[in-house]
Amino acid sequence: MPIPGIRGFKDILPEEAKRWQHIEKVARDVFRCFGFKEIRIPILEKTELFARSIGETTDIVEKEMYTFVDRSGESLTLRPEATASILRAFIEHGLYAQDKIQKLYTIGPMFRHERPQKGRYRQFHQINAEAIGLDSPTIDAELMTMAMHILSALGISGVELQINSLGCSHCRPQFRQDLQSFLGTRQAGLCPDCQRRTVSNPLRVLDCKVERCRAALEGMPSLSEYLCPDCKTHLHAVERQIQLFGVPYIINPLMVRGLDYYTRTTFEITSLALGAQSAVAAGGRYDGLIKELGGPELSGMGFAIGMERLSLLIGDLQKIEEEPILFVAAMGEKACVIAARIAHRLRLAGIQAEIDYEGHSLKSQMRRAGKIGASLVLIVGDDELARNSITMRDMKSSRQWAVDFNNDIEALVLCIGEEMGRFV
Ligand code: HAM
197 SS3 class: helix
CB 114 within 8 A of CB 120: yes
Q: Ligand 1 center to residue 279 CA distance, Å?
A: 8
Nearest residue (by CA) to ligand 1, atom 20, is: 120
pTM above the 0.75 mark?
A: yes
Nearest residue (by CA) to ligand 1, atom 33, is: 302
| Domain final residue pick, 266, 288, 314 | 314
Measured CA distances, 64 to 54, 67, 364, 376 (Å): 12, 9, 52, 51
Measured CA distances, 89 to 39, 43, 157, 331 (Å): 9, 12, 35, 58
Say if residue 310 is in the same domain as residue 329. no
Closest CA to 189 of 205, 212, 208, 218: 212
Say if residue 245 is in the same domain as residue 129. yes
Q: In ligand 1, which atom is closest to the CA atom of 268?
A: 10
Q: Ligand 1 center to residue 114 CA distance, Å?
A: 12
Nearest residue (by CA) to ligand 1, atom 21, is: 120
Q: In ligand 1, which atom is closest to the CA atom of 116?
A: 19
Say if residue 283 is in the same domain as residue 333. no
Output the pLDDT for position 424. 67
Residue 206 resides in a domain: no
Q: Ligand 1 center to residue 232 CA distance, Å?
A: 26
Starting at the earlier edge strand, list the strands of the sheet with 75-78: 44-46, 75-78, 66-69
Average predicted confidence (pLDDT) for the chain: 94
Q: Ligand 1 center to residue 137 CA distance, Å?
A: 22
Residue 181 resides in a domain: no
Q: Ligand 1 center to residue 340 CA distance, Å?
A: 47
252 SS3 class: coil
Q: In residues, how long is the chain?
A: 424
Say if residue 238 is in the same domain as residue 104. yes
* Enclosing domain of residue 295: 14-171+227-314
Question: Distance (Å, rounded) from C-alpha 162 to C-alpha 342?
Answer: 56
- Name the residue of 61, 124, 134, 204 to mutate for ligand 1: max ligand atoms within 8 A of Cβ: 124
Can you give the CATH number for the domain in which 124 is found?
A: 3.30.930.10
Nearest residue (by CA) to ligand 1, atom 3, is: 258
Residue spans of the chain under pLDDT 50: none
Say if residue 281 is in the same domain as residue 154. yes
Can you give the CATH number for the domain in which 364 is found?
A: 3.40.50.800
Q: Ligand 1 center to residue 304 CA distance, Å?
A: 6
The 10s digit of each residue's pLDDT in 77-124 is 999 999 999 999 999 999 999 999 999 999 999 999 999 999 999 999
One-letter amino acid at 375 equals S
Residue 204 resides in a domain: no
Q: In ligand 1, which atom is closest to the CA atom of 119?
A: 21
The 10s digit of each residue's pLDDT in 243-277 is 999 999 999 988 988 899 999 999 999 999 998 88
- In the structure, which protein residues have their CB atom closer than 6 angstroms to any atom of ligand 1? 81, 83, 112, 114, 119-121, 124, 126, 128, 130, 258-259, 279-284, 302-304, 306, 308-309
Residue 100 resides in a domain: yes
Say if residue 336 is in the same domain as residue 411. yes
Say if residue 331 is in the same domain as residue 373. yes
DSSP 280-344: EEEEEE-TTHHHHTTS-S--EEEEEEEHHHHHHHHTTSS-PPPPPEEEEEEESHHHHHHHHHHHH
Say if residue 272 is in the same domain as residue 380. no
Question: Distance (Å, rounded) from C-alpha 284 to C-alpha 403?
Answer: 61
Residue 43 resides in a domain: yes
Q: Ligand 1 center to residue 17 CA distance, Å?
A: 20
Q: Ligand 1 center to residue 281 CA distance, Å?
A: 7
Residue 220 resides in a domain: no
Say if residue 268 is in the same domain as residue 409. no
Output the pLDDT for position 422. 77
* CB neighbour list of residue 194: distance below 8 Å, 6 or more residues apart: 183, 204, 205, 208, 210, 213, 216
Number of domains in the chain: 2
Q: Ligand 1 center to residue 82 CA distance, Å?
A: 9
Q: Ligand 1 center to residue 282 CA distance, Å?
A: 6
| Domain final residue pick, 314, 335, 352 | 314
The 10s digit of each residue's pLDDT in 163-193 is 999 999 999 999 999 999 999 999 999 999 9
Output the pLDDT for position 151. 97
Say if residue 144 is in the same domain as residue 250. yes
Q: In ligand 1, which atom is closest to the CA atom of 60?
A: 3
Say if residue 254 is in the same domain as residue 391. no
Residue 125 resides in a domain: yes
Burial of residue 273, with CB atoms counted within 10 A of its CB: 0-12 exposed, 13-18 middle, 19 or more buried: middle
* CB neighbour list of residue 359: distance below 8 Å, 6 or more residues apart: 336
Nearest residue (by CA) to ligand 1, atom 30, is: 303
Say if residue 306 is in the same domain as residue 330. no
Residue 205 resides in a domain: no
| Domain final residue pick, 314, 347, 379 | 314
